[in-house]
Each structure stands twice: as C-alpha cells, then as structure tokens.
Structure 1
Amino acid sequence: MSKVSKVVNAEAISAKQKLSSNFLKKGISIALFSGLMYGFYSAFLTLGMTKGVWGDWYGANTAGLSAVVITFVLGALGSAVNDTCSAVWALIYAAVKGKLGDFFRCLKTKPGAVMIVAALIGGPISSTAFVVALKMAGSIVIPITALCPAIGAILARILFKQKLDKRMLLGIAICVLSSFMIGSTSIGSDAPEGLLAGLCIAFIAALGWGFEGCVAGYGTAMIDSEVGITIRQATSGLSNLIILVPLFGMMFGGGISFSTDLVVQAFTSGPAMIWFALSGLCAFVSYMSWYNGNSMCGAALGMACNGTFSFWGPFCCWIILGVIGGMDGWALPPIVWISAVLMMFGILVIAMNPMDLFRKKEVAENEAA
C-alpha cells in the first residue's frame, strides 16, 4: 500500500471515529435531556393540580369531597388529564412527521398490541400511583420511582432469564440503599403525615414502570420508536380516562356520573389546563428524548442517563413550586439530595461498567494520536 493510501485511510478512520464519538455524545445529551424534561413534567403536573377547580378540590373546604376521593379519584384524574394532553401532543407530532397512518396500522399488529399492554401497565397503574404519591408526599417520592431500572433488571432476570452479573447486582444494591436512605426521612415524629404511605405508593409506580420497560422492549424493537411512543401515550391517556377514573368513581364516589362530572370540570378549567398542557408536552418530549437517546448511545447508557430524573424531579419541583411558586414544603433535606445522586450512580452501574466511559475516551485519544 502506498504512503498516500495509508494517509487517506488514516484520515478516513479518524473522521469515522470523530463522527461516531459525536453521535454518541449527542445521544447521551438527548438521553440526559429526557431526565430533565421528566423533572419539568413532574413540576408542571403538580402545579396544574393546584390551579382552577383543582384548588377547590384540594382546598381547605375540599368542595365536599371525601379523603378517599381526593386521594385516589383525583389522583387518577390528574394522571388521565396529563396523559391525554401528552397523547394529543404525540398525535400532532406523528401527523407532522407523516406517521399518523403508521400509527393506526401498527395498532393492528402484534408489536402494537405489546405496546398497548405496556401502556396499560405504565398508564393506569404506574402513572396514577406516581400522581397519588406526589400529592401525598411531595417530590421526595421521585427518587423512589427511579428504582424502575433496577426493578426492570430483576424482572428481566425472572421473566426472560436475562443475565444478572455481579456488577448489576451491585448497582441494584446501591439503588435499594438509596431508597432506604430516602425512606428514613419518613421515620420519626417530625415526618409529614402521609409520607410513608406516599413512598410505598411510589414504589408501586416503580414496579409498574419496571415491568412496562420489560414488556415494551419487545414492541419498540419491532416498530418505529416515534410510532411506539404515540401508541403508548394514546393508550395511557384513554385507558386512564375511560377505565380507571370511572372505576374509581364507582368504587369511591357513587357512580359513573360522579366521575364524568369531575372529568368535565377538569378539562374545562382553563387556569389548570394551561399547566396540564405543559406537563403533557414535557412528558411526551421526555419519552421522545429517551427513545431517541437510546437509539444513539445504546439502551443501557440511555437508561442510566434518563435515570437522572431522580435528581431533576425534586430539583425542578423545588425551583418551580418552591422558589418561583412560593409554595411551602418543597425544600428537601440533604439526605434526599445525596440519595438521589447515589441512586443515579447505582442506575449507571446497572446499565454499564462506569470505567468503560474512561476506557472509550482513552482508546479514542490513542487512536486519534
């Protein structure tokens, strides 16, 4: 091979390595952005549930609603309104991208059915549990819900016989330790009322999302991720709205007419719907960024980057609700912040060997030299 050919090949290899490196970095940035958007989704959702008619429902007079209705029916309704708004954003995006036809066609396929099942698990169950926990205990529950990657890894081992090596077990142990550190704040006479129950309900959300991740993995491997997200959000919104809210209305409120009245009031409350529209948009963008980031930097690293919502969730709630909104109770003790960061590290350990990040950098530098 001539000297000129060697130089050309070296330049081509260098250009390819630089392109791959930039692609990876962009994927990591997008996946990290998904965690940030999840934090804003949590904050705007909570803010929306204090405005308009929600302020009356959760106010001092509670508009004549029982404690059970306030906790469960309104929690399910808040999740339904948010997920419905998110579904509208997803459908608009699919229409703009020219994928609305693919959306309806995929609904009839097996992967589409798998995505619907995943959405039924993550929507009516996990999303409602998350909203209920958020209203009961505040943003302290968000790091608990971030246990879903650890739970997903365990469920993948049980359901699909996927390997759990020592590194992954260490990451799971770190996540569990972090959750216990957060849970320790619910012990003692100074703990707010309902904090322990809120943390337990948050764990239900993490369990559901972990199971959803296992089920949805198959569906997203077979269909376009943007179409898959649209199926997920539309199914979640509709199932919450036409199944869970009426069911809770019959169980706790006296009938379907009761829940229907609440739904109409919620969707016609302008001051609240502004924030629900924002929370729905942030939820959709968060899922979109997570899926796109995964496709660029790999599912393992993407999952670890998305897990940063264990930090961004409490942080965004503190900024938007506590600092800007002037609401009390959104400041968190130092142990929660430490636990959130520790859990982020645990998620990274589950997803990959953290030392690989430094090895890849060293290899790239050596090859470039």
Structure 2
Amino acid sequence: MRVEKSQNYTNTTKASVAKEALDKKYFSKGLNIGIQSGIYYGLYTALVTTATVYGIWKFWYSGEAGLSEMTLAFILGTLATGINDLTSAIWALGNSLLKGKFGDFIKTIKTKPGLIMIFAAIVGGPIAGVTYILAVQMGGPVVIPIAGLNVAIGAILGRIILKQELSARMIAGIVICLIASLLIGATSLTGEIKDGMLLGIILALIAAFGWGLEGVIAGFGTSMIDSEIGIAIRQSTSALSNLLIVLPILALIEGTGIGLIGSLFTKAITDPTILLLFASGFFTFISFNFWYKGNSMCGAALGMACNGTYAFWGPFFCWIILGVILKNPGYEIAPIAWIASILMAIGIFIMSVNPLDYFKRGKN
C-alpha cells in the first residue's frame, strides 16, 4: 500500500513539474508575441507615414494641387487611415477565408459580442485612428509616445466603467506616463520639432482616449469570440466607417461635395504608394492579431504592456526609414524625447504588471 501511495505521489509530482514547465513555455511564448505586437505597430506607423510623404501624397501636401486647408489638415489624413484600414481588413478577411472562418465572421456580426466589437471599432478607428495619423503628420513621430497613454487612460476608464481595480502601482505608472508626456511636449518649446507639434499633441491625446475606451469595450467582446474574427470585424468596420461615413461628412463640411473624395481615393489607390499602404495594413493586422494572442497567453495586463512599447518603436522606425534610409530632414528625435519614450514604456509596464511578480516568476 505504501509503495502504491509513493508511486502515486511521484507521478503527481512529475505531472506538476511537467505542467509548470509547459506553463512557463506558454507564458514565454505569449510574452514574445506581445512584444512583437508593439514592434509591428511601430512598423505600421512608419510605413503609413512614409506613404503619405511620397508620390501623390507629396504632391497634395505640397500645395501644388490647390487643395483647401481643411482637405490638407483633415481629409487627407482620414483618407490615409481609411485606406490603411481597408488594406488591413483585406488581410484579415483573407486570413479568415484561408482558415475557414469566414462563415463565423458573417454569423458573429449579428451577435451581441459582434455588435460590441463594431462599436469598439468605431471608437478606435474613425476617432482614434484618424486623430493618430493626423497627430503624426502634424507633430512628427515624437507625438507617438503620447498616444501610448491609451493604456493609462484604459486603466482609468476600466475603473470607472467596469469597476476594475486601480491600485497604487497602477496610479504610479499613470503618473510616470504623464510626466513622460510632459517631457515630450516640452520639446516643442525648443524649436527642435515641427510647427504642428501643439495640435499634434492634442490629437495624440484624443487618439489615446479613443484607444483606451476601445480597449475597455473590446475587452468584453473578445472574451466571447475568436480573436481573429474580432480583428476582421474591427478592421472592416473601421475602414467602412472612415471611407463611407467620415470622409463624405468632411467633404460636405469642406464644401466641395463627395466628388472630391472619390477623386482623391481613386488617385491614392492607383498611385505606387498603395504598395506601402498594403504593407502598413499587413502590419496593422498582424499587430492586432499578436496583441490579442499575447493577451490570452500571458495575461491582458502584461500583453497591453508589451504592445504599449510601440511608444518607442514608432519613433524608432520612423527615424530609421524616413530619416536614416530615405534621408528626410525633420525626423530626428531630440534626446529628451528618446528618454521620455523609454520612461513612457517603463510607466506602462509598471502600471500593467507588478515587476516584482514578474521577476519572481522568472526565478521559479
């Protein structure tokens, strides 16, 4: 009897050790995927920014096309966002077709979780997505870390809307993020950043709020549906909302009518820069896909922290692609902004996960 109990204990111990090893491997993989999501989002930012400073976009923004100030300030940025989301939706829908999930995509749209994702997409796409592109165009890549405040804002909104815990550690992380954003904003006073910095900062804050709210809303929706289906719904809704609702409204306000939108859209998708927008759309799709996967594998808090590192990768890839490779002036990042970007990432990490728990996990 004692031998049998000893064998059972040994088997249980082996099973426990094996499970712990699998958990660590699963966690590490999720951590890696989460970090990649932030890198890919940085690449998306750099590519969509590159697309809008070359080809037909360069001609439009140069003023030679005779476009109105409103078109230059708002319509072109919304158009770029809409086309990027459209290419991203094509990648997402193509992925669902290849994996045999397109039927589930159609069915899910009609469900409550699907409607929740549609609402989240409207908040995160037409509102946050457009203001983010406009912020980068007007203020340069230095405003990207400010949009990274979406994690801090999401934590606050989660506390208000979903009654989620807002601990002293999370508050400390929020304060660090706010200090970092103030440091970034201070660079506009030195003359080192382009003239549209102030408006760019304001738009980046609006984007941060929109994405923070989207994260709270979508967190509930994606807990009940396949993440890849959720991404397809999100990108499709955002693309259609921008191209078929927001742009026509802006055109009517501008006074030229929707004919202008059709002309701009046609020229944009037939210009060689569409290849860059297809590339940016691909990285947008991959980034969201990896974000959802990372959240499910290593936890939503750490997944958000890893994704939030785009606050660093965005300016980094803009500098590498536009500044170093293509030798465009104005994309150099002031030292204080680089320091603030790293500080912002630290604040996001501290707010999203207890560093002591993470290091303890690594020692086990």
Pair 1:86-2:88 in alignment: yes
Pair 1:27-2:35 in alignment: no
Shift of 1:148: 0.1
Letter in 2 for 1:310: A
Matches within 5 A, 1:55-74: 55-59=58-62, 61-74=63-76
Bigger shift: 156-165 or 209-218?
156-165
Match of 1:42 in 2: 45
Is the 8 Å Cα contact of residues 141 and 198 (structure 1) preserved in structure 2? Answer: yes
**Runs of at least 5 residues in structure 2 that lack an aligned partner in the other structure:** none
Q: Secondary structure in 1 aligned to 2:223?
A: helix
Letter in 1 for 2:283: C
Is the 8 Å Cα contact of residues 69 and 253 (structure 1) preserved in structure 2? Answer: no
Match of 1:336 in 2: 337
Letter in 2 for 1:249: A
Distance (whole Å) between structure 2 residues aligned to residue 267 and residue 173 of structure 1: 43
Match of 2:305 in 1: 304
Distance (whole Å) between structure 1 residues aligned to residue 121 and residue 64 of structure 2: 32
- Shift in CA distance, 45/329, structure 1 to aligned 2, threshold 3 Å: same
Pair 1:133-2:135 in alignment: yes
Shift of 1:10: 2.9
Letter in 2 for 1:281: F
Is the 8 Å Cα contact of residues 140 and 194 (structure 2) preserved in structure 1? Answer: no
TM (norm. structure 2) is 0.96
Distance (whole Å) between structure 1 residues aligned to residue 64 and residue 21 of structure 2: 59
Distance (whole Å) between structure 1 residues aligned to residue 44 and residue 313 of structure 2: 10
Match of 1:367 in 2: none
Q: Secondary structure in 2 aligned to 1:127?
A: helix
Is the 8 Å Cα contact of residues 171 and 346 (structure 1) preserved in structure 2? Answer: yes
Distance (whole Å) between structure 2 residues aligned to residue 151 and residue 227 of structure 1: 26
Q: CA RMSD in A?
A: 1.3
**Runs of at least 5 residues in structure 1 that lack an aligned partner in the other structure:** 365-369
Match of 2:55 in 1: 52
Q: Identity over the aligned pairs, expressed in percent? A: 47
Matches within 5 A, 1:1-369: 1-2=2-3, 3-59=6-62, 61-189=63-191, 191-269=193-271, 271-362=272-363, 364=364
1:208-266 deviation digits (Å, cap 9, x = unpaired): 00011111111101111110111001000111110111111111251111112111111
Distance (whole Å) between structure 2 residues aligned to residue 289 and residue 26 of structure 1: 11
Is the 8 Å Cα contact of residues 81 and 133 (structure 2) preserved in structure 1? Answer: yes
